[in-house]
Structure 1
Amino acid sequence: MAPVDEERTQVGVGPWPGEWPSGQQYDPELLAHGDRRNVVDRYRYWTLEAIVADLDTRRHSFHVAIENWAHDLNIGSVVRTANAFLAAEVHIVGNRRWNRRGAMVTDRYQHVRHHPTVEDLLTWAGERDLPVLGVDNLPGSVALEGYPLPRACVLLFGQESVGLSDAARDAAVDVLHIAQFGSTRSINAGAAAAIAMHAWVARHAAPGVQG
């Protein structure tokens, strides 16, 4: 059995070599001991606060909301993907406590807001003129492919297995479905959220796209 190369299996970078860089964004502890966080290279050795502040200057105008009535394991994955696509905020609808394991600590960099009910989410979105679009493969739903996703909107997802609640379906301006071609009735809620967010990015934020 070949020996394990510990340097190659470690995540991130070690202590800063040579003279330290100047700038308030840098964390002395990370410079001294290394940065093993799952962050892109531009944020190596930066403080958490500096990273969030920089992200806040570039966040996109879409929001992601997910219902949380049964401690859905997918919520953490949705938060992680929202961070990757730089969503404005993630909204947890229902129970305040949610399973953070799948977020892989990305919730520290992503704004997360809680709403006790779908009605509370609607009030919040209405005050900001944000249309709420459900994502679920329901009868009468509209294909996500080709749908003119607004630049500013809320993408609302239900929980695994049951999908959108009745209140969420009624609240949505439109309910969108993702095209499927196999035998399964539905795809994983976390995967569906990733596809929908990428559809927004492809329309509004991909390189070369004119908004």
Structure 2
Amino acid sequence: MKRKLLNKELNRLDVKAFKDAPKTPLILVLENIRSLHNIGSVFRTADAFLLEKIYLCGITATPPHKDIRKTALGATESVTWEYEKDSLSLINRIKKTHHCMAVEQAEGAERLDTFIPLPDKPYVFVFGNEVKGVSQEVVNACDGVLEIPQLGTKHSLNIAVSAGVVVWDFWTKLNRQKKMF
């Protein structure tokens, strides 16, 4: 039988240690996300994988908000975040230093399962509105598009689930590459 670990046995970082820790070279952009619970969940994912930053764009709500806090469980304090009204201007600015990819279903999209991150390049992944997805103008401005393969009857995953899947995949592949070199 396996005994579940107590929270105090997990050796988690405190906020200061998190801020000082080396970050995974990944920024998330949330474009026009309506659900405060989705926003909070993405903050928790960003905390779990030591991501560089989150940009909240357009109608995406910002902390502090009780419904974001409810799912973020303190991650809004550890993860660096910034609000930018115009996601297109942000992408045009940030792609000078980062490889920007929309997470979307689009012609010519690269399947997540075949995606190999460049080891020496920081990335930005853009996640869009729960109904409309990433805006076409932002898709056009990005360096590429990642698509999560799906086999069922639904056309999409929840944005928080998508972020978890994509971030886990990126983190795993990046760390596997580091071990190879």
Verify same fold: TM over 0.5. yes
Distance between the aligned counterparts of 2:155 and 2:132, measured in 1?
Answer: 12
Distance 1:91 1:157 in 2: 10
Whose helix proportion is higher, 1 or 2?
Answer: 2
Contact 2:58–2:86 (8 Å) recurs in 1: yes
CA shift, 1:41, in A, is 2.2
Choose the corresponding residue for 2:155, options 164, 180, 185.
185
Distance 1:93 1:207, change over 3 A: same
SS across alignment from 1:61: strand
State whether structure 2 residue 144 is matched by structure 1 residue 174.
Answer: yes
**1:150 is aligned to 2:114:** no
The answer as to whether partners of 2:111 and 2:148 remain within 8 angstroms in 1 is yes
Structure 2 CA distance for partners of 1:60 and 1:184, relative to 1, 3 Å: same
Relative contact order: is structure 1 or structure 2 higher (C-alpha 8 Å, sep ≥ 6)? Answer: 2
Structure 1 residues 203, 123: CA separation in 2 closer, same or farther (over 3 Å shift)? Answer: same
> Do the aligned residues in 2 keep the contact of 1:51 with 1:109 (CA within 8 Å)?
no
Rounded Cα–Cα distance in structure 2 between residues aligned with 1:179 and 1:69: 22
More deviation, 140-149/62-71:
62-71
Correspondence for 1:35: none
| Larger displacement relative to structure 2 (101-110 or 189-198) | 101-110
Q: Are 2:17 and 1:51 equivalent residues in the alignment?
A: yes
Deviation at residue 126 of structure 1 after TM alignment: 3.2
Shift of 1:163: 1.0
Q: For this pair of structures, how many residues does the alignment match?
A: 169
User: What is the RMSD of the two structures over their aligned residues, measured on CA atoms?
Assistant: 2.5
Pairing 1:140–2:104 present = no
Name the CA shift for 1:102/1:124 in 2 (closer, same or farther; >3 Å): farther
Task: Output the TM-score relative to the length of structure 1.
Answer: 0.70
What's 1:131 paired with? 99
Q: Using the alignment, how far apart are the partners of 1:75 and 1:148 within structure 2?
A: 26
Please report how far the alpha carbon of residue 149 of structure 1 lies from its aligned counterpart in structure 2 after TM superposition. 2.0
Is the 1:118–1:167 Cα contact (8 Å) retained in structure 2?
no
Matched-pair contact (CA < 8 Å) for 1:203–1:209: no
Distance 1:96 1:69 in 2: 5
- CA gap of 1:102–1:159, structure 2 versus 1, over 3 A, is farther
- Normalized per residue, which structure has more strand? 2
Q: Percent identity?
A: 21
1:202 alignment partner in structure 2: 172
Relative to structure 1, the CA distance from residue 173 to residue 123 in structure 2 (aligned partners, 3 Å threshold; closer, same or farther) is: closer
* 4+ residue segments displaced more than 6 Å: none
